[in-house]
Amino acid sequence: MAHYPRLRDLREDSDLTQSQLVEILKMHKTTYTNYEQGYREIPFCLVIRLAKLYNVTIDYIAGLTDEPTPLKKNAKKHGCK
């Protein structure tokens, strides 16, 4: 199972608790905790939502780059909710 430690880092850098974040994401806290701790694979659509929320690239969340390059403002919409 993949573990993405930046999920927690980004949440904490945004001064959000897990409870606050799951309220924003409209999901169960246990589900998100499992993603953050690497016990469950995070869905790609959720990665996209988090990238938009934190204004970073998906590559940054995945740990493929150390540059939290902000998303372009004219990024195309996607079908993920």
Mean pLDDT by groups of 10 residues along the chain of 81 residues: 89 97 97 95 96 95 90 62 61
Task: Give domain status of residue 1, yes or no.
Answer: no
Task: Give domain status of residue 78, yes or no.
Answer: no
Task: Give domain status of residue 81, yes or no.
Answer: no
The single residue listed with the structure tokens 């806290």 is 29
Q: How many domains does the chain have?
A: 1
Task: Give domain status of residue 71, yes or no.
Answer: no
Which domain covers residue 17, as residue numbers?
6-62
Instruction: Write down the pLDDT at residue 3.
Output: 83
Amino acid at 55: N
Task: Give domain status of residue 69, yes or no.
Answer: no
> Which CATH number characterizes residue 24's domain?
1.10.260.40
Task: Give domain status of residue 47, yes or no.
Answer: yes
Instruction: Write down the pLDDT at residue 73.
Output: 66
